[in-house]
Chain A
């Protein structure tokens, strides 16, 4: 594993001296296959050793327990357990030393002897050299940061790496969307980071002494770099791997009901699977390759543990692969391929070692597993139903599977109650074998039998009343005679005849509406296996179209989830309910999307369109996910596109407050989602929290409306209106920033001319609420379809912008159109704040004249006066003071306005405020 201790033993002074000066002793040790311990370089501060020193480091295996018990040549008893040597000493605690690694030496005549590199000398009272070695393994990003921090004695190295990464991101924005250039760019950055790290003199000196440290430093630098870079780096990787990921996801989704036994996994390993699954699912939470690989290793170790009866379960590759396949399928991580590529291609510190460490092995294992799933070898024959068929088998009927298949072709002669022909399973098997004629024959026969039984009851009564009345039973003539001929007499009640009749009553022949233990009807089975002709037959025979099984799934659910378009269409045309939810509140559309069956989604949409059915495209399942959430999560680009074209709304939140945008893990999907909101690049960055704050502005009528719209999911029109408003807002803001009032008014559908020539007195808005004078009329005239108080994702309204850019004319117009003068943006700032910040004196006066709250506070507790003092806007301060603000208000850092000014040394302002206070007094 990475970071394990290593040194060249032949260069160790202890070993060199042993070899050169006591070669006879060494030869003897070799011939006796005694183990030689070598204290790691640097653990001994002396360079002169006596013969006792060497003897103390030769371990002679004991006769009884040669594996664990040894004695040194100095007659000390030594035990070895779990890579730790324990040396008994005469007084005090036993001495312990870790075995860092073992190296097997061969002499020129290929005689083998073993050398253990130990952490500390095996002698009491020796002066231990330098401080203990650095951590043996780097296990997390924290270890890496720790190492860089302590070894460089401060955070300058970390800062340097941060700086490098920032510069890199500035320079390479956006990052290339192809693996080779991306990898090369990052590799260059890594070299840069390493260079700047080793410029630290302290580190350089230390690394010169210890190669081990150098390796660890390299690894740490890589980790820290990846840690900083991950967010910007992983998206492009996902985008590069988008195609592979979505294909893998489709394969995995369609296998998601696979069971352990289907994969030939050893029974002893079953118990370890949940734990391993839990560990492996954490892989997405790690940012660095080191941690991701470690996560793989831990998952593997979890499988590798002892079983219930405490026996060691040894995993061979044959056992390991199926377990990993299972874990991958069940993990519900949508970007395994990207994870693999990241781990494989962005490990720079190990490049020199080729494929020779355990990390490489683990990554290769993951690659092999993905390849195995991709290859389709798992699904067996190409048609999915055969796979389902296999996976449905329990262990008990696994054996008679072959025999049963054979029996399908044989004609069955006997007809007793327990005959195979009479079981539902047999009918199911016939359906799976696509034997439509036989199915039809059997079910029809049983149906007739059932009908006749019912009629028998009735006729038996009739019989007694009216013996001649036979005409009614013409239909069942054949069957009647069949039974009654067997009886001694039609009315006989002897033992034999009674049992014959009761046998008939006890018959449990399957019919078209029979169900198995899972509540599956023949129609379900036919839909699962996509046998369109049988589906047709069953429907004709009156099968219940919307019958639900244990999971409340209808045949339509199965046809959709298995991707059987023909069966799906047949069911739809026969009146299957298109929006039926199963136990998880999944509609057939959900299932089809989840499993990536484009053909079925198209069929559903097409049918709904032409059959004038209302397909709920934004329907939510138990977790609040719409089909679009699923498509985004699994990276089905084409499907997402199709859904959006048909009115799916990407901004809907699920129960975790996540939108489809949040689930999209690559740019391609994002691009598709963006389709619904053309030209609005900003919208993409709106995360769910921002959507929420948008919704929370209850004083804002449009967002209120928007909120109520969101609950009514189907009204896509209204949502797109919001989007249009956002687009328009963007244009308005642009116009304002140019200072073009006319253009801004045009965008807002306000007639600028109406206001251009009028001399509005600044101290009143209209003469009277009901005034009908020319001026007031004009004000109310303009009924804009654009809401003046509409705010963008930062909570900025047009008035905010007008205030910021000092357009007092526009402010007037906006206020005349009922703009909210005290609306606050996301930071809690009112337009007055912005005017104060930007020293727009005219606007300040206008706003204050029209009722703006002079003591309004933003989220950090600042009043407009605080802001003006902070920035040092003399004019703004003067103007604000004219309107008697509360000078004693303190902001979030408990400072009044004058204190802020003092802090910033704005002398004029301090003077102004002091004068004002004196005046008041």
Chain B
């Protein structure tokens, strides 16, 4: 479960237990995924990276830098980056508090673009489903691909990422915290008990 899912649940505090990837690992994964994106799409033509609010936005930005750098002299040109908030497309509205965390901002037209959705963690696949629906209301991309830093399993919908930083076996009740600083596996604990331990 990534930051977004955690924020949707009752208040708690993430307590990391195991460092699964350090900052260097994350950076190397970004570079590898950037190369895979270039390889699959034969360059940056028509490419748009769209991060899912909020955990996927930094990944989209990092990938955009890496893709631009890796594509070398051919393109030095920037790859457009967007941010998508899928709150209004979620299927659990009314079941638990669902509020957008930040504005959707897709600066270019998506018609005929190749959109790479970027997120920190893929878990049930429901967020990606919501994102696909949201994208279709914004434009009609030629193709949509999915890049995630961590795939932790437990899919509930037929969704599979195209680019994965790390496949990480987890328990269902565990949490995964992803940032450019690294990937932590741990649990969410009550504010009270967390406070008691600190």
Chains A and B come from one and the same complex: no
Q: Which residues in B have some Cβ–Cβ distance to A below 8 Å?
A: none
